[in-house]
Amino acid sequence: MSKPNQPCRILVVDDDEGLLLLIAGALRTEGYAVATADSGRAALAWLDAHRPDLMLLDLKMKDVDGPALLEKLQHGEARVPFIVVTGQGDEKVAVEVMKQGALDYVMKDTALLDLLPAVVKRTLATLAQARALAAARLEHERLESEVVAASERERHSIGGDLHDGLGQLLTAVELMCAGLRAETAKTNPAVAKRLGEMGGLLREAVAQTRYLARGLVPVGGEPDALQVGLAELASRTNGLGRVRCVFECRVQVALPDPAVTGHLYRIAQEAVNNALKHARAKLITVRLAVPAGRLRLEVQDDGTGLAKDRGAGVGLGLMRHRAGLIGAELSVKSKSRGGVTVACELPLPQ
């Protein structure tokens, strides 16, 4: 493929020597770098060492016809974009070749040399737009990943400050209150009672601080952190007293990548929160399994089913986004009699 600021390279394949020279001359006049091949074998040999921006291919050649040549090219590592050149009466063949990936076709008639430069220019412009869109998509995905990574780093920083900073400070104040309460128990029972009440409030504040910190930093970096985190998620959900939450995992699951672990946990957390907020469920089951070399995370509830606001909300969009970032597939199924299953499947490395 040509480099930026260099003319596009075009390979013309035709066993009609006269027409081959005419087509090459017309394209060179337009400023393209043109290579030629007068047979299918010559084209394959040239393509083994070069990569053109576009190929013009005659459908009928003596040694290897166009469709057979395309069949060989399809098995290559990098497919070559191409336009077919066909004679009168071969329109049906041209349409079939279009189904195999041809970008356009031109007829071998008196208008060929006049039409061909415009067709080539239009095709190259389309290819350039496709490459630009692909590059923009990759850049968009890269920036999204960076934003999510920065968000996770910030969560960990805030969670650490809450746990190690504010949490320890509140614990120290609670211990001071306990000490003062012991000292004033006999001399001033009223003050001791108030100190006891303050200590209780401080213990509650410490518990809430740790709960917030745990929510911001839900899992650690250990290989079994996902299992531990999901078990704690089920335990905390049970502690709310509104619903029964069960965690099921029959195999040991080790994930060496903390980023993947974090995204899977957040998907499960969001699915559980959706069931709590919208489904009016009585039972939520979180499952972790490894069927056929794929990790499957599943959150199932027995609630009211998938309402419109539940299916198209921000929560589901975030789950799909997180799944996409780690190369996983997310599915959401709602049963006719109620209940929703959110499943996330991720191929595991061998």
Query: For 75-90, what is each residue's pLDDT tens digit?
Result: 655 678 888 887 766 6
pLDDT at 10 over 70: yes
Q: Are residues 153 and 208 in the same domain?
A: yes
pLDDT band at 73 (very low <50, low <70, confident <90, very high): low
CATH number at residue 93: 3.40.50.2300
pLDDT tens digit string along 174-217? Answer: 899 999 999 998 889 899 899 999 988 888 888 778 767 766 66
Give the residue-averaged pLDDT of 161-181: 86
Q: How far apart are CA 335 and CA 329, in angstroms?
A: 20
Q: Are residues 35 and 67 in the same domain?
A: yes
pLDDT at 295 over 90: yes
The pLDDT of residue 91: 66
Contacts of 39 (CB under 8 A, 6+ apart): 13, 15, 61, 62, 63, 64
- Which strands, in side-by-side order, build the sheet including 9-13? 33-37, 9-13, 54-58, 82-86, 104-107
Report field, pTM of the whole predicted structure over 0.75: no
Q: Are residues 330 and 234 in the same domain?
A: yes
Give the residue-averaged pLDDT of 6-33: 91
Q: Are residues 201 and 224 in the same domain?
A: no
Mean pLDDT of all residues in the chain?
A: 83
Three-state SS at 130: helix
Asked if residue 68 is part of any domain, the answer here is yes
Asked if residue 75 is part of any domain, the answer here is yes
Is 333 within 8 Å of 301 (Cβ atoms)? Answer: no
pLDDT band at 220 (very low <50, low <70, confident <90, very high): low
The pLDDT of residue 211: 66
Q: Are residues 71 and 158 in the same domain?
A: no
Cα distance between the two ends of the chain: 34
Give the residue-averaged pLDDT of 58-87: 73
346 bridge partner residues = 295
Boundaries of domain holding 309: 218-347
Q: Write down which residue in 67, 91, 109 finishes a domain.
A: 109
Asked if residue 130 is part of any domain, the answer here is no
* CA distances (Å), origin 339, targets 38, 71, 252, 279, 326: 65, 49, 28, 8, 27
Q: Are residues 97 and 188 in the same domain?
A: no
Q: Are residues 233 and 335 in the same domain?
A: yes
Q: Are residues 77 and 156 in the same domain?
A: no
The pLDDT of residue 45: 86
Q: Which two tokens stand for residue 116?
A: 């061909």
The pLDDT of residue 328: 93
Asked if residue 134 is part of any domain, the answer here is no
The tally of domains found in the chain comes to 3
Q: Are residues 232 and 200 in the same domain?
A: no
